[in-house]
Each structure stands twice: as C-alpha cells, then as structure tokens.
Amino acid sequence: MTAMPQTPTVLHAPVIDWFDEHARDLPWRRPEAGPWGVMVSEFMLQQTPVSRVLPVYEQWLARWPRPADLAAEPPGEAVRAWGRLGYPRRALRLHGAAAAITERHGGEVPRDHAKLLALPGVGEYTAAAVASFAYGQRHAVLDTNVRRVFARAVSGAQYPPNATTAAERKLARTLLPEEEPVAARWAAATMELGALVCTARTPSCARCPIAGRCAWKAAGSPAHDGPPRRGQTYAGTDRQVRGKLLAVLREAVGPVPQSALDAVWEEPVQRARALDGLVADGLVEPLADGTYRLPLT
DNA sequence: TACCCGTGGTG
DNA sequence: TCACCAAGGGT
C-alpha cells in the first residue's frame, strides 16, 4: 500500500531549494542545448551514466546540431558515433526520431507529449522529460531516480517495485506541483536528488533536504523485503556477442569479411544467432558478396 | 508481464 | 572478486 502524504506540497520547497543550490551544470541543462540537445541527452542517458554520456553528447551535438543534420546521414553513422555507450539500438532509434522530426514536424522537436511519444525510442519517460525539461511543461517524470525517491520518502520502502506500477504514476501525479514552471523544476529536482543523494546503494541521508519527512528513514531504514530485484547477467550472453560483433563493424572503415566477425566468438551457433539478430534489428547490413557493414539505409 | 537489449564503473 | 547499478524502450 502506498501512503499518501498528508500535505503533498511540503516537499516542494525543500527539494527545489536544494536543487537551486546543488544542481550539476550539465550541458543539456544549459539554454543553448535547446529541445534537440535535451532529446539527444535523454536517449543517451537511457541506462547509461552521465559521466560516459558527456563526451559523446558534445561530439554528437557538434556534428549534428539539428535533427535534419542527423537525418541526412546514414543510420550507420549514428551507430558509429554512438561509440561504446551501449544498447546501440538507441542510436538507430534516435536517427529514426530525427528523420520523423524532419519529415513530420518541420525539423522542430515537437512540444506535444503525444507527438513525442509517437517518435521511435521515445517512451513514457522520455516524452515527459523532453516536454518538461525542454518546454517547461507540467508532466510527471518517472525515472528510476524519482521512483526511488518517492518509494523512500513517501512509501517507506527502500526500493520501488521492479516494474512501474499504476500506484506510482498516481502518486507522481498527486505530488506534481500545480504551476507549470514549478512542476518542471520539481521534475528535474527530484531526479537530481535521486542521482546525487538518495542513491540506490548508500544514500546520503545526512545531506538530504527531506530526511526529516522521509517515511523510510522514519521507519528505521528497513531493508528491502519483497522479491529479489532483477539482476543482469551478461558474460556469455547473446548481448555480449552482439557487442563484440558490432564493435568490429564500428571500428572498420568499410565492409568487413565474415572471417573478421567469426574471430570474435568461438561458438558458431551463438555467433550466427547474434549476427542474425543484429541484421534483424537493422544494426548490421549484409552485402551480396558476403561482407557486412553498418547500415546505409 | 517478463524478458531482451551493451558497457563500464564500483563497493 | 563480482553482483549491482546506471535519466528506458520495445515486444
């Protein structure tokens, strides 16, 4: 059961005041980033830490300052520029989003949440984040940081559920400040609080602006009880093989022979399955002569 | 819903 | 050392 705060607004001022003082100076938060910069950052930050995104973000925006600039290049160039950020399908989707923005929205990142949501690679979180951070709109922005902050401060649990629940969305809407600019500030502030203070492993409650109102802390910071949180195995999986295969193609200038791909993984069945998967995903293009390259279309 | 999808830092 | 973790989305 989720406990409703008696007066939701009491959290707003301390969290936003804390954000005013402690917010990181990130490039996508600067005014010159614009909606496109915000969108690029949101794609890159999906499951990838800020520190690793920073250099790639700068290169990306310098090379493709507008959606149309990216849309004008082959998707394989986006995959190559993605580097080692991980989950390279995001690069493909960002390229697809840029193409859709160019074709359907006159080259401007749409302001409307529903239109954002219709873009490839843009889900509930990213649509709300772009609408809120880039356009100052009032949306519940529920990422892993915000979910953890609310789980602790309001629900009294160490961790949120594995999958986002309807109760969490309702709570987020309940806590959202009424005024649009305040709501946008709140969204960024709660995310930052989760990223810097209310961290997953060892939260710094001594530095938390709402520690005095935290339900989890008040309960004695009880350990997580429910089902174990989903772990991520990696070694020996298809994902690892796909990563090795794509790394070869990223670093190659032109098409690579089958033999170069065969060299990265011993086991032929899994290797073939991984390569087929990359082709099916549009990350790799097989050529008639038996070589492979990053996609030109 | 549960699972798939990369990569690297860290306690 | 190694399991956990990092501004999710698609199916």
How do residues A271-295 score in pLDDT, each as one tens digit? 999 999 999 999 999 999 999 999 9
Distance in angstroms (rounded) separating the CA atoms of residues A104 and A97: 10
Q: Distance in angstroms, CA of A6 to C1' of B8?
A: 42
**In a shared domain, residues A117 and A210:** yes
- Nucleotide showing the shortest C1' distance to residue A159 CA: C5
- The predicted-structure confidence for A16-41, as pLDDT tens digits, reads as follows 999 999 999 999 999 999 999 999 99
Considering the domain architecture, whether residues A202 and A260 belong to the same structural domain is answered as no
Nucleotide nearest to A87 (CA to C1'): B6
Contact A85, A56 (CB under 8 A): yes
Q: Do A138 and A246 fall into the same domain?
A: no
Which of the listed residues A198, A231, A264 is the one where a domain comes to its end? Answer: A231
Residue A220 and residue A273 share a domain: no
**What was the pLDDT predicted at A5?**
56
Among A231, A258, A280, which residue terminates a domain?
A231
Residue A154: both structure tokens together: 């309001």
Predicted confidence at residue A236, as pLDDT, reads: 85
Q: Residue A187 maps to which CATH number?
A: 1.10.340.30
Coil/strand/helix, residue A134: coil
Grade residue A1 by pLDDT with cuts at 50, 70 and 90. very low
Whether A95 and A70 have beta carbons less than 8 Å apart is answered as yes
Task: Output the pLDDT for position A8.
Answer: 77
Last residue of a domain, one of A231, A264, A285: A231
**Is A83 in the same domain as A122?**
yes
Residue closest to A43 by CA, chosen among A53, A52, A30, A51: A53
Angstrom distances, CA of residue A223 to CA of A204, A216, A251: 16, 10, 45
Predicted pLDDT at A30: 97
pLDDT at A252 over 90: yes
**Could you tell me if A264 and A165 lie in one domain?**
no
Residue A3: band (very low, low, confident or very high) from pLDDT cuts 50, 70, 90: low
Residue A228 CB in 7 A reach of strand B: no
DSSP alpha helix (H) spans, chain A = 12-22, 34-44, 50-63, 67-71, 75-82, 89-104, 113-117, 124-133, 144-150, 166-175, 180-196, 215-218, 238-251, 258-262, 268-280
Query: Could you tell me which residues come within 8 angstroms of residue A30 by beta carbon, excluding any fewer than 6 positions away?
Result: none
Q: Is the same domain home to A263 and A187? A: no
Regarding whether A88 and A41 lie in a shared domain, the answer is yes
Which range of residues forms the domain containing residue A129? 1-231
Q: Name A48's Cβ contacts closer than 8 Å, sequence gap at least 6.
A: A85, A86, A87
pLDDT of residue A234: 82
A148 CB neighbours strand C below 7 A: yes
* CA–C1' gap, A56 and B11, in angstroms: 27
Q: What is the three-class DSSP state of A292? A: strand
Strand C interface, A 63-82, C-beta < 7 A: none
For nucleotide B4, the protein residue with its alpha carbon nearest to C1' is A239
Phi, psi of A165 (to 5 degrees): -105, 165
Q: Cβ of residue A79 near strand B, that is under 7 Å?
A: no
Identify residue A162 by its one-letter amino acid code. N
Domain count, chain A: 2
Question: Is there contact between A244 and strand C, defined as CB under 7 Å from any strand atom?
Answer: no
Shared domain for A224 and A244, answered yes or no, is no
Calpha distance A208→A286 (Å, rounded) = 53
User: Going by C-beta distance under 8 Å and a sequence separation of 6 or more, which residues neighbour residue A203?
Assistant: A152, A197
For the segment A64-79, the average pLDDT, to the nearest whole number, is 98
Cβ contact A194 with chain C strand, < 7 A: yes
Torsion-angle region of A170 (φ positive above 0: left; ψ -120 to 50: alpha; else: beta): alpha
- Whether the CB of A47 is less than 7 Å away from nucleic strand B comes out as yes
What's the whole-number mean pLDDT along residues A217-242? 85
| A48/A185 same-domain check | yes
Can you tell me the mean pLDDT for A211-233? 86
Strand B contact nucleotides, protein CB < 7 Å: 1-9, 11
Q: Are residues A60 and A168 in the same domain?
A: yes
- A42 belongs to the catalytic site: yes
> Using one digit for the tens of pLDDT, what is the confidence trace for A114-166?
999 999 999 999 999 999 999 999 999 999 999 999 999 999 999 999 999 99
Residue A242 and residue A226 share a domain: no
How many CB atoms neighbour CB A88 within 10 A? 23
The arithmetic mean of pLDDT across residues A77-100, rounded, is 98
